Structure 1
Amino acid sequence: MIDNASVEQLKNNMDIVEIISNYIEVKKAGANFKANCPFHGEKTPSFVISPAKQIYHCFGCGVGGDSIKFVQEYEKLNYPEALEKIASMMNFSLAYTQGTSDNNEARRVLEQVQTWYAKNLDATPISLEYLRNRGITQQSIETFGIGYVGQSQELMNFLSANMLTIPKAEEAGVVAQRERGGFYARLTERITFPIYSTSGAIVGFGGRTITNHPAKYINSPQTKMFNKSRLLYGYSKAKESIYRNKKLIVCEGYLDVIMFHQAGFHEAVATLGTALTEEHLPILRKGEPHVILAYDGDKAGVAAALKAATMLTASGFDGSVVLFPDGQDPADMIALGQVQQVANLLRNGQALIPFVIEMMAKSYDLNNPREKEVAFASVKSYLDNLTPIIREAYIAHAATVLGVNVALFGGSVKLENTKARFEEVSRDDVGQLSIIKTLMDNEKLVNKVVNVIEPAMFGNYASLLESAINGEQNTNLTGLSLDESIKVMDEEELSRSLASYLFRYYSARLKSITTDGQMPLQQKSFLIRKIKMDILPRLRRGELVTYKF
């Protein structure tokens, strides 16, 4: 049980606005804060938070309570679990009268494993050489706690020697269970990056392969403490500068963040292998900073910047976009001593709304009247989601970019044909479309897909996959890129999705081969045995395999 005195101490240190803003966007409204209620659908905020009374109340559905009650209802936790969740957010250590806290034990595992990872780095020349070649200094290695993990058994031995139990290590996301029994380390032969909550409590790890593993980066799985969609790498170290300078730099990876900080840009953070999503908005909103999207200038970077800028502006954020030129990323430029050039780029970024308008227009051939009409409808739809004053301010710019009369923006436009329709699709279709959209978002993953899948294997979406692989632009792909119901995956999720799709594909092939009366018996027996005994078991384990018939 949690000690009562510890609970009271925790309550005395709670800030209800800080806690609730970890989950939803809140805006100042006089002495209080307001938000759209997360417990019932509404468009006009009726959810009020009182910092003075440390309570919340929704005038729409009637829910109300304190910080603990909110976390209980939002996370579907019981009272002790909610206390532990809040304590984790606040980096507060609860005291217990009997036994120990599950979260405290899991965090103890993370802390000790992190210490061990950091010590391992010095004994791994290949990892140190990689970091040095990327321009990372010893001070940055220590500041960000960069480490190294070797073979799986080494971690298992460490856990045993330090009396860290396997169940708690599994709960912390450090180990996983094999299908056939036994446990293994989730990260092996990787440079490690500890990941912290906004309050500075360790919650998980990221790992970068040094053995050319197909998955270049892997993060901890989702746990009670770790949700990558609500975290930003480096935020706990950046937040003081973000609040002070009213600026936040979103970049693409661990090394970009580290190099930005190393060069004096202490407001840099990064998403954890995912695109920027609405779940990140509450943390981005803190301090009301100017948000700079600092992405690579390749096709994937532009697509990610467009998606993020569209979401941010629809949510009322102010900010700008910086696309790094000539295939360079910020880490490369800083490593080459081009710090002043990076500073100039950040200072002269393009405002979010003009960027969205111009990138949307570039997706179409404006010399083709039909495509121009679709482009106009897309841009108008985007502007119509902005506040009236902001919309009015950018209509002239949109009209100039599209080459249309300003008066057209005052009328109503049918939007039925502005994007390909993917609403009526099955679960399997969504998986295929997510694979295609991921390739559009990150061209570096194309080889991973083409190594195991040919367009012909994608059935109705064969031509769409082929267009994405070849980097082509067409109306269907543009429609897919604008369809928010189809998600972009990180590399780990893509691997799982590919394995799942291939399993279904080869299961269907097995069924068709079994019922094929024209196939020679010897060939049929071989293929049935090959699929049953080799391909499907390997796919079930998550291994990406393929076979040409």
Structure 2
Amino acid sequence: MRGDNFREVIERIRTSVSIVDIIGNYVQLKKAGKSYRGLCPFHAEKTPSFYVDPDKGLYHCFGCGASGNVFTFLMKKEGLSFSEALRELAKIAGIKIDEEVKSSKELLLLKEAKTYYQKVLNESEEGIPVLNYLKQRKVTTEAILTFGLGYASGAGLVTYLKNKGFDFYTMLKVGLIKENPRGGYSEFFQDRLIIPIYDHFGNVVAFGGRAMKESDEPKYLNTPETEFFSKGKILFGYYTNKKELKESGIPIVVEGYFDVMALFMMEIKRGLAPMGTALTEDHANFISSQFSKAILLFDSDEAGKRATLRSIKVLLEKGVMPLIASLEFSKDPAEAWENGRIDEVKKALDSASDFAKYILRISATIEERASNVRDLLESIQRIENPVLRKDFGDLVAKAFGIGSIGLNEVLKLLSGQKKESVVAGVDFSLAVSALIDSEIREVLLNELSEEDFLSEDAKTIYVALKEGKTPEEVISEHPGSSRIVEYAMKYLGEINERVKGEIIKKIRDIRASKVRQMLLKQRLENKENVEKILIEFFKSKKENMGG
């Protein structure tokens, strides 16, 4: 298609769909003047800051800054490429673009290869041992058909595809054949159970192969990455379980193909699995665009524990709440299914704990606990959303017996300074008092800097005042404006000269405080020093509790 025509098709689709209707499938929108307003689908918030302008065909969130048109919304929310979003919206608009944006030869070949592999498994003598293997693992006929399982003997695929009109170059491009060192070609998969890998629309984009001989290495093998397939981006099971995932709202991340299939056969159709790789940042980005929570159900061995810890960190950084489920007897869901332990899996999922409680439970020594908490805090600090950053920090503080005081306050207490809880409490009150009284405001702005504030809310107020905004502007623009007003009315309603003097003294004490100076220095120290602080904290806590 010529570029000009393609742009015309895009514009025709854009103007043919209602951005309000599309976004309304995900967000409850209410009329607000000429626009529509609702809670942002891309970050957690209690006060609606997400606006949709039907005339301009644009959306914007004043909270997290997410902005774009109907295409970018669908791309971000569903984790789609532009062409995928274009096709989805074309269907909604009733515009046929199949003749203009044709399916690629590569995808058609992969679809045909899947058909071939299925026929070999289900209709040939070569497939009988593989079907027996699947029967031994209790894989049902429904699962075999739903997931499109097949078998590659290592011979016959090339001839089949050539008869269907495909060439060697395309077979090579998608990774179904490989060049031999001495010339010629051979099939990529040899004596392997074939597991098709689908994109979000059900297109076959790659294959996984499970060795039928235990001596063959590696046990699992994927076709090479292509323009359609990146194993660090696609999660196995999403397309198959898409409907149930949207209804439940909480995916279950497991380690492998058979774990996803086992959950499916248990009527738990929420399984997702990375393919031969740890959960990546791209995986976490996709999960965060769809879900606010995710259950991790990895293998119970040491490798599974390490994978759980890595996944907790990557999910946290994207603002997803990791819940951890642990099987009591079985290694993984696949083993539980094979042994008829469905209740064990359901019990584990029902009793999944939050990430902080899990870290506490697996930390056998003080040193291990310190290392794990340090990693948690570092991940939480990378969360862009301040509300989630505080909520997740509170979970860590509560699990480790420090109290619900927020991430930065947790970091302060971990330094071993007993008076820090008092100092932490005055951060917000000082900032609010500066909104009320001009003299306090002047001292605050002159004596303290942005780095002196360890509460994000207090820092936001300080920065706004420093920028020259009036107290009214700060309150009206602050995301926690109602809390500021409530706090001010309850605690700072009567600032007399004596109280004012005490507040100003506190500000100047903070400026000179050795505790503050130490904290600021500790913020710049490396991981090893932070870990030492944590170890000392936990040792001190243990001693205070009588060993």
TM-score where L is the length of structure 1: 0.59
Matched, 1:195 2:304: no
Name the SS for the 1:323 alignment partner.
coil
Q: Which residue of 147, 159, 162 corresponds with 2:161? A: 159
- The one-letter amino acid paired with 2:270 is E
Pairing 1:315–2:424 present: no
Number of aligned residues: 389
Distance 1:372 1:291, change over 3 A: closer
Tell me the equivalent position of 1:138.
141
What is the Cα deviation at residue 260 of structure 1? Answer: 0.5
Q: What residue in structure 2 maps to residue 303 of structure 1?
A: 306
Is 2:207 the partner of 1:205? yes
Same amino acid, percent of matched pairs: 25
Given that 1:357 and 1:379 are in contact with CA atoms closer than 8 Å, whether structure 2 keeps it comes out as no
**Cα distance, 1:168 vs structure 2:** 2.3
Question: For residues 267 and 321 of structure 1, what CA distance do their matches in structure 2 show?
Answer: 15
Mark the CA change 1:88 to 1:379 in structure 2 (over 3 Å): closer, same or farther.
same
- Secondary structure of the structure 1 residue equivalent to 2:325: strand
Three-state SS of the structure 1 residue aligned to 2:527 is: coil
1:215 aligns with 2:218: yes
Which of 153, 167, 171 is matched with 2:173 structurally? 171
- How far does residue 115 in structure 1 lie from its aligned partner after superposition? 0.6
CA positional deviation for 1:183: 3.2
Q: Does 1:184 align with 2:293?
A: no
Whether 1:119 and 2:228 are equivalent positions in the alignment is: no
Residue by residue over 1:133-175, the C-alpha shift from the partner in whole angstroms, topping out at 9 and shown as x without a partner, is 1110111101111000111x42221222222122222333323
Contact 2:20 2:54 survives alignment (8 Å):
yes
Q: Which residue of the other structure, out of 245, 251, 254, is the alignment partner of 1:251?
A: 254
Cα distance, 1:33–1:133 mapped onto 2, change above 3 Å: same
For 1:271 and 1:54, the matched residues in 2 are separated by 36
Aligned positions of 1:140-539 closer than 5 A: 140-151=143-154, 153-178=155-180, 181-212=183-214, 213-288=216-291, 290-326=293-329, 328-359=331-362, 361-362=363-364, 365-366=365-366, 377-378=374-375, 380-382=377-379, 384-385=381-382, 387-399=389-401, 407=418, 412=519, 413=522, 416=525, 418-419=527-528
Structure-1 residue corresponding to 2:78: none
Residues 373-417 of structure 1 show CA distances to partners (whole Å, capped at 9, x for unaligned) of: 666655554554561243234314224799976957867336745
2:108: which partner in 1? 108
Contact 2:179 2:186 (C-alpha < 8 Å) held by counterparts: yes
Give 1:238 shift: 1.2
C-alpha separation in 2, matches of 1:227 and 1:50 = 35
What is the CA distance between 1:331 and its match in structure 2? Answer: 0.9
Aligned equivalents of 1:298, 1:204: Cα separation in 2: 29
The answer for unaligned runs of 5 or more in structure 2 is: 30-35, 44-48, 76-80, 383-387, 404-409, 425-514, 533-547
DSSP 3-state at the match of 2:297: strand
Contact 2:87 2:97 (C-alpha < 8 Å) held by counterparts: no
- What is the deviation of 1:350? 1.5
- AA paired with 1:255? F
Structure 1 pair 400–300 and aligned structure 2 pair: CA distance change class (3 A): farther
Please tell me the residue identity of whatever aligns with 1:115.
Answer: T
CA distance change for structure 1 residues 392 and 333 in 2, over 3 Å: closer, same or farther? closer
8 A contact 1:110–1:204 mirrored in 2: yes
Partners of 1:225 and 1:91 lie apart in 2 by: 21
Q: 1:54 to 1:144 in 2, by over 3 A?
A: farther
Residue in 1 aligned with 2:471?
A: none
Q: Alpha-carbon deviation of 1:96?
A: 3.8
- CA-to-partner distance for each residue in 1:16-47, whole Å, 9 max, x for gaps? 89999xxxxx99994585879xxxxxxxxx99
CA contact (8 A) 1:6 1:95 kept: no
Residue pairs, 1:47-62, within 5 angstroms = 53-55=56-58
* Residues 6 and 30 of structure 1, relative CA distance in 2, 3 Å threshold: closer
**CA separation of 1:13 and 1:136: change in aligned 2, threshold 3 A:** farther
Secondary structure class of the residue paired with 1:184: strand
Change (3 A) 1:306 1:15: farther
What is the TM-score of this pair, normalised by structure 2?
Answer: 0.59
SS in 2 for 1:296: coil
Q: How far 1:295 moved relative to its partner?
A: 0.8
Say if 2:40 and 2:61, in contact at 8 Å, map to a contact too.
no
Q: 1:165 to 1:383 in 2, by over 3 A?
A: closer
Please report how far the alpha carbon of residue 110 of structure 1 lies from its aligned counterpart in structure 2 after TM superposition: 0.9
Deviation at 1:240, TM superposition (A): 1.1
8 Å contact from structure 2 (residues 152, 194) kept in 1: yes
Instruction: Report deviation, 1:68.
Output: 6.8
Matching residue of 2:472: none
- Does the 8 A contact of 2:38 with 2:50 survive in 1? no
Provide the C-alpha distance between the structure 2 equivalents of 1:238 and 1:18, rounded to a whole number of angstroms.
Answer: 25
Mapped contact 1:206–1:217 kept (Cα < 8 A): yes
Measured against aligned partners, the alpha-carbon deviations of 1:49-94 in whole angstroms (never above 9, x if no partner) come to: 86885547899xx99975679999xxxxxxxxx8756567889784
Contact 1:374–1:417 under 8 Å retained in 2: no
Instruction: Tell me how far apart the structure 1 counterparts of residues 357 and 379 of structure 2 sit (CA, whole Å).
Output: 11
SS in structure 1 at match of 2:235? coil
When the two chains are superposed, the root-mean-square deviation of aligned CA atoms in Å is 4.5
Residues 289 and 381 (structure 1), Cα distance of their counterparts in 2 relative to 1, 3 Å cut = closer
Question: Secondary structure at the residue paired with 2:312?
Answer: helix
